[in-house]
Chain A
Amino acid sequence: MACARAIQPGIRASHDRNSNTANMPLKEKVCPTVDAAVAGIPDGATIMFGGFGGAGFPNNLIQGLARQGARNLGVISNNCGTGEGELGILFKNKQIRKVVAAFPGPGAKYFQEQFDAGEIELELVPQGILCERMRAYGAGIPAFFSPVGVGTEIGRGKEEREIRGKRYILEQALGADYAFIRAQRADHMGNLIYRKAARNFNPIMATAAKFTIVEVEEIVDTGQLDPEAIVTPSIFVDRIVQAPGKRYV
């Protein structure tokens, strides 16, 4: 069974009025399996992956993407895997062409091998600027001036401006075709609640991608989440799949 939310490149599924899945209600975002949740990701897609420090990685979706086999991917993630865990399997499978990351990490064995061999393009971005570039994209801001990286190699080649006596560089907004994220709990509409420090990059990525796929520990009936506690409102979520958390060390 496919997910109701078909992928139409460049169009949010919520805006898709020509869906050929007429037998399922358009509002249904819950997918029956992880493989259904990642179906339709094309070669060459750009994908954001949440997770930090072993917490909050959408490891089930990543494993699903490894089975699905899309190649030539552009990846935006804080780091680049731990052995075969987290993003590691996608590097091992040579599915990734380009990376935007703040800290690829000493455990990113397969990324490092391919980086050293010149097979992967890397853009290193300061971690807070990685967040802020995504936030700008999600908020419709094309670029912004930032003090981070002024006078360092991060600022090289970027437009610089003095504002109220301080130096700033122009940073571009950063979006993606897809976000793969993990949350603790979703309702059927896609409202999300996270758990502890597993929240990290997941909410911001949901706002910066055209199509967001979330794996969650638990799906509850719509109306069962406290509206005051919802971190990611449903408008940012396109597909949901229930899958127990996986951790790699």
Chain B
Amino acid sequence: MSKARLTREQIAERAAMELPDGVYVNLGWGIPNLIAAYVPANISVYFHSENGILGMGPRAKPGEEDFDLVDAMKVPVTLLPGGAYFSQDDAHVMTRGGHLDICILGGLQVSERGDLANWRVPGAKGAGGIGGAMDISVGAQKLIVTMEHTAKDGSPKIVKTCTYPLTAIECVDTIITDLAVIDVTPEGLVLRELAPGFSPAEVQAVTEPKLRHAANVPEMQLKPR
């Protein structure tokens, strides 16, 4: 068994397994933007974009772009049958009003209570930007964060208390990283799955808060690399 951490694509592949048939979903920037490609062909998932699209389809093919039909990352996309256009305020009626079943965002830090920090690195140059992340985090019926388990310097990104500017408090339900799937519960963080080859102790070593787990934590079921 190889023991490499998951790639960003594999994190996206694992995150796609969290999507049941028929859900309305918003995907954020970064790893979440890779997830749509891994949704199994036998289920239907309806993608929302906060600039006013529901039922968003794949990226437009080269030469077929319509620049009035872009996603929240400015990328030309398509609309599936049954899709709809609406204004930005209606798009956020859907986010903040609790109408989206699952939202998946990138993260800089997640705390053991499920606080999320994902919009600004302290000391970063420039004005920063919030975008729709705060509205989405507050309103999602289920919020999943996908991110690397540790920062570039090796420090934990799953922490007791976030030190980065917060996006929302007590909003994260599940964290999917290159090492593990972790659920945020009232009793604390629960290690649900491991990346192939890793042990609970190895994941705990790079996680600041205490992880609870069963005697045998299953491995993620991913396609062979």
Contacts and interface: CB of A to CB of B under 8 A. Distances in A.
Interface of A: 52-56, 78-79, 101-106, 111-112, 115-116, 122, 124-129, 131-132, 134-135, 146-154, 194-204, 231, 247
B126 A131 contact: no
Interface residue tally on B, bucketed by range: 35 or more
Task: Count chain A CB atoms within 10 A of each CB in B51, B85, B130, B134 and give the residue with the most.
Answer: B130
A116 B68 contact: no
Contacts, number: 144
B169 interface: yes
Nearest to B137: A148
A111 B68 contact: no
A128 B51 CA distance: 10
Contact of B132 (A102, A134, A149, A198): A102
B49 A151 contact: no
A25 B79 CA distance: 42
A86 B115 CA distance: 35
Contacts of B128: 104, 124
Contact of B87 (A55, A150, A154, A200): A200
Given A53-B51, A55-B51, A126 B169 contact: no
B125 interface: yes
A196 B138 contact: no
Nearest to A82: B74
Nearest to B117: A152
Majority DSSP secondary structure for residues of B touching A: loop
Given A53-B71, A151-B168, A152-B165, A199 B52 contact: yes
A200 B165 contact: no
A198 B169 contact: no
Contacts of A112: 126-127
Contacts of B86: 199
Contacts of B71: 53
A104 B120 CA distance: 13
13 contacts: A53-B72, A54-B74, A55-B51, A101-B129, A102-B130, A116-B125, A116-B126, A127-B50, A148-B138, A152-B167, A195-B68, A197-B68, A204-B89
Contact of B134 (A105, A149, A195, A203): A149
Contacts of B68: 55-56, 195-198
Nearest to B115: A151
Nearest to A153: B165
A114 to B, nearest CB: 10
B134 A148 contact: yes
A112 B127 CA distance: 7
B135 A127 contact: yes
B53 interface: yes
A209 to B, nearest CB: 14
A131 B89 contact: yes
Nearest to A105: B129
Nearest to B75: A53
Nearest to B79: A196
A147 B138 contact: yes
Contacts of A129: 134-135
B70 A127 contact: no
B96 A148 contact: yes
A152 B127 contact: no
Contacts of A199: 52, 85-88
A152 B169 contact: yes
Contacts of B115: 151
Contacts of B67: 54-55, 247
A124 B129 contact: yes
A190 B12 CA distance: 46
A197 B73 CA distance: 12
A199 B49 CA distance: 13
A115 B124 CA distance: 13
Contacts of A101: 129
Contacts of B95: 128
A53 B102 CA distance: 23
Nearest to A231: B87
A197 B74 contact: no
